[in-house]
Amino acid sequence: MPLSEQEQRALDEMERSLYQNDADFVSTVSSRRGKPNYRMMVVGVLVGVAGIIALLTGVIIQQPLVGVLGFVVMFVGVLLFVAPPRLSASDAETPSSPASSGRAPKRGASFMDAINDRWDRRQDGRG
């Protein structure tokens, strides 16, 4: 069911307010992520399986130290599997160059400042 005009305006106003007042939070939870790193996922699974095997071996031979080490290895494998992908240099670039945006970015401005400026221009109808 589509939103009514009043609901759509309220949603737009809340979104604008969020972007203006809490840009750091928006950048933290934004959906912009890198491509999944399948190699790290496979390594994480293999390390996790090795940890499970070591944990079970420690239980079978009744050696708590081997079991604890197995748990630690298993935990590291899970962390490798679920770690967020890192952005490569090409992914971290700004989406548009200064020449295409119509004005040069401020000297020393951060990436988020540039994004906020673009958002403001878009909301003002200049972008």
Within-domain flag for 124: no
Kindly report, residue by residue over 4-55, the tens digit of the pLDDT. Answer: 888 888 888 888 887 777 777 766 666 555 677 888 889 999 999 999 999 9
Within-domain flag for 47: yes
First and final C-alpha spacing in the chain: 30
Within-domain flag for 49: yes
Within-domain flag for 109: no
Q: Please tell me which residue, 29 or 116, carries the higher pLDDT value.
A: 116
**Is-contact 41 81, C-beta < 8 A?**
yes
- Domain tally, the chain: 1
Take residue 9 and report the two structure tokens written for it.
């305006």
Kindly report, residue by residue over 65-110, the tens digit of the pLDDT. Answer: 999 999 999 999 999 888 876 655 554 444 444 444 445 555 556 7
> Counting beta carbons within 10 angstroms of the beta carbon of residue 98, is it exposed (0 to 12), middle (13 to 18) or buried (19 or more)?
exposed
pTM of the model as a whole: 0.46
The pLDDT value recorded for residue 72 is: 95
- Domain containing 56 equals 35-85
User: What residue type is assigned to position 112 of the chain?
Assistant: M
**Got the DSSP string for 15-80?**
HHHHHHH-HHHHHHH-S------HHHHHHHHHHHHHHHHHHHHHHHTT-HHHHHHHHHHHHHHHHH
